[in-house]
Amino acid sequence: MPNRPPALRFFRDHPKPKTADPFYLSPEWKALAAAAKKRDGYRCIRASCPTPERGKGGRLIANHKTPRRAGGVDRLDNLETLCPTCDARFHRDKGRAR
């Protein structure tokens, strides 16, 4: 009878997925994100946005202009509203080896 590998071997060999910073679940962040979206008229702020109507009525993301890991602060003047397409362009290097 052939030997079977342990059932959890796959999970042992792969790194755990990254988890989001708990700050992004806090009421403070949610209030800041909502204020940024309201300020920007619930639209993506990129003039070259390819999303119809610049994402109005769809999913929008409050993005740090200067990322927190680079010393960016959690203030309204450091936030901008982006659609998922423009956010992916902004973070095109995310996940790549740095």
Please state the domain extents for the chain: 20-90
pTM over 0.75: no
Three-class SS state of 64: strand
Could you give the C-alpha distances from 60 to 44, 63, 81, 87, 91, in angstroms and in order? 7, 9, 7, 9, 15
Distance (Å, rounded) from C-alpha 96 to C-alpha 93?
6
pLDDT in tens, the chain (98 residues): 567 665 555 555 666 666 778 888 999 999 999 999 999 999 999 998 998 888 888 899 999 999 888 898 999 999 999 999 999 988 876 655 44
